[in-house]
Amino acid sequence: MWNVDVEKECGFGAETIQSTNISAPKLLATTHDLKLYVNLPFLAFVLRFSPTTQYTSLMSSIQTPLEMSPSQQPVIVVGASLVGLSAALCLASYQVPTIVLEKHEGISKHPRAIGFTARTMEIYRSLGIENKNPAPEDFVLERAHVESITGKWHDNSSWSDTERKQKSNDQKQQKKKTQSTPKKEFSVERGSAIPQDKLEPMLEALALERGADIRRQHRVVSVAQDEEGVTVTVEYKGMQQQIHGSYLIAADGNRSTIRELHQIPRHGRGFMQTLHSVLFRAPLDQWTKGIVQFDIDQPDLKAFLASYSDGRWALMFKDDIERDSEALQRAIYQAIGRSDFPIEIITIGQWELTALVADTFLSGRIFLAGDAAHTLPPNRGGYGANTGIHDVHNLAWKLAAVLSGKSSAELLDTYDSERRPVALLRHDQIFVRADYKVHLDTATPAGEKIDDDAMEFGQLYLSMGIVGAYECLPRAMRPDEWKGQPGTHFRISGEWSDAAAKLRESSPVVLNSLCIGGDVQLLQQGDFQGWFGVSSTGAALIRPDGYIAWRAKEAPPNLAQVLDQAISIVSFRVEDHVE
């Protein structure tokens, strides 16, 4: 396991920006002082040791929407599936005018994704979506290798297993223990099982409520851009029309029209196979022992069977055979291992199992997100849908900041530098695990398996918008190993999130500050300084997407100016912006 001290590994620890004197007390005194320096919805934590309260912190934030100029052109989002709707919700939450264009009339009948990670649920929670079905604390997603559900069970494997092995109950319990403990510590949220076709209407309803304009049956056929903005041509009920916008997010899936129009190449493992699937309803819970994923292994039936935890199941065939409804029904009963009860076939589907990442996630005013940017095969790490949701969460606040005139457009370049490496690493990690090892070709380097929690909570961002993150650092580690490294995600424990929730409620106050140990009492005494890797006088600056953009391990004598400079750098602040 890596355990990195940046100063030792990289030969320097230059996170602190040198500058001249402005006294710290002035900065810390009132919310209005801080407003002077913080132009974006940042959370700034300034930790200070106090002999009476042990740890005292001043936590400051602006969470109010960024004001848009009245003439502001909307952001256009192409695609109203999971990622497009998440983009619309994020943007609408910042009051960015948003138009979503979707070629289909309704949402896809096939639920597709179901597993949403704790990190995704943190994002949704911050947008107002409650996790109504949190995974149990000790939940580890296991897949059973069986002849059929009611027939012989061979073995079980977890996502992290690189080899299949028979495990005793003791080993399983031990594994659950070691895997679940850190997750609980890294996030106040838990993962959730929500079928994609149930989640999308929730996102849509909330985005509409916050002002997003979602237009269905609008197929985008072309897009042009210039220095002023973008113009898309759409087909609606046989008519063509043009829609103007400031920027465009292409969330139009694996076969992205926008990506193809811009001839953005993709690289990766590529196409692996076409999968035929059938979605059906059957009462199977009595035989599943709580397992929701099965590898069906019979001489004449190799398939993957997954539950949507609402009575619906998807059977995905590993062969390329076209089956009529009778043959589908036979195969379903064969996978179950008995046929003495009725089943209902809901729909059939055909999927391309593909792993490809676009060579760039941006082209001028156009940003690729979700499957348009990276098509990753469905896996137990939830890298498909979850990665796309994290993309637009990363992008939305940047667009809001640039459109409000407070940040320069260079901030948007950090989207590609931050998100593309995440997708590339996830691509490679998929093929290190047992589920997809079989698809690894000799041209794709296998690499080392990285800890699941590191992949979920600790992928590093390196960009011009992060001060103090260096090429020499590992690409992912667990938050407890990073210890507040800039470019990694802010670790939310229960107490912090409660405090953050208070801050979110503070709108329309532009800036709020709370004192940990004063305004906010920690329920449990933790190693607060250790979490952030700062001394008793240090500080960490947290971006709206929860990433640590900068930190000072020690308070510099001219703290106010140093913080001001850090904010200016990481927010790409427009210096002559007038409120």
Ligand X SMILES: Cc1cc2nc3c(=O)[nH]c(=O)nc-3n(C[C@H](O)[C@H](O)[C@H](O)COP(=O)(O)OP(=O)(O)OC[C@H]3O[C@@H](n4cnc5c(N)ncnc54)[C@H](O)[C@@H]3O)c2cc1C
| 3-class state of residue 461 by DSSP | coil
**CA 118 to centroid of chain Cα atoms:** 9
- C-alpha 357/C-alpha 265 separation (Å) is 8
In sequence order, which residues have a C-beta less than 8 Å from that of residue 204 and are 6 or more positions away? 80, 85, 88, 214
Query: Residue 43: what are its φ and ψ, rounded to 5°?
Result: -105, 125
**Smallest separation, CB 120 to ligand X (Å):** 8
Between 232 and 516, name the residue whose CB sits nearer to ligand X: 232
**Smallest separation, CB 68 to ligand X (Å):** 25
**Smallest separation, CB 308 to ligand X (Å):** 10
- C-alpha 535/C-alpha 173 separation (Å) is 38
Between 60 and 257, name the residue whose CB sits nearer to ligand X: 257
Count of positions (residues) in the chain:
579
**CA 498 to centroid of chain Cα atoms:** 21
Q: Is the dihedral of CA 472, 478, 481, 483 positive or negative?
A: positive
C-alpha closest to that of 536 among 54, 60, 61: 54
Position closest to ligand X via CB: 370
Between 80 and 434, name the residue whose CB sits nearer to ligand X: 80
**Smallest separation, CB 114 to ligand X (Å):** 5
Between 287 and 351, name the residue whose CB sits nearer to ligand X: 351
Between 253 and 465, name the residue whose CB sits nearer to ligand X: 253
Between 96 and 114, name the residue whose CB sits nearer to ligand X: 114
**Smallest separation, CB 235 to ligand X (Å):** 9
Between 356 and 372, name the residue whose CB sits nearer to ligand X: 372
Between 382 and 421, name the residue whose CB sits nearer to ligand X: 382
Between 385 and 541, name the residue whose CB sits nearer to ligand X: 385
Between 204 and 481, name the residue whose CB sits nearer to ligand X: 204
**Smallest separation, CB 403 to ligand X (Å):** 22
**Smallest separation, CB 187 to ligand X (Å):** 17
- C-alpha 273/C-alpha 158 separation (Å) is 23
- In this structure, are residues 87 and 251 in contact, taking their beta carbons and an 8 Å threshold? yes
Query: 1: buried, middle or exposed (CB in 10 Å: 19+, 13-18, 0-12)?
Result: exposed
Helix 413-432 and helix 383-403, axial crossing angle in degrees, nearest 10: 170
- In this structure, are residues 485 and 541 in contact, taking their beta carbons and an 8 Å threshold? no
**CA 548 to centroid of chain Cα atoms:** 15
Between 103 and 483, name the residue whose CB sits nearer to ligand X: 103
Q: Which residue has the tokens 């000790």?
A: 138
Binding footprint of ligand X on the chain (CB under 6 A): 78-84, 101-104, 112-115, 196, 219-220, 251-254, 257, 351, 370-372, 378, 382, 384-386, 388
**CA 321 to centroid of chain Cα atoms:** 35
**Smallest separation, CB 519 to ligand X (Å):** 38
**Smallest separation, CB 328 to ligand X (Å):** 16
SS (H, E, C) 205-223: HHHHHCCCEEECCEEEEEE
- C-alpha 59/C-alpha 46 separation (Å) is 6
- C-alpha 169/C-alpha 442 separation (Å) is 36
Burial 166-191 (b: 16+ CB within 10 A, else e): ebeeeeeeebbeebbebbebbbbbbb
- In this structure, are residues 342 and 54 in contact, taking their beta carbons and an 8 Å threshold? no
**Smallest separation, CB 36 to ligand X (Å):** 40
**Smallest separation, CB 139 to ligand X (Å):** 14
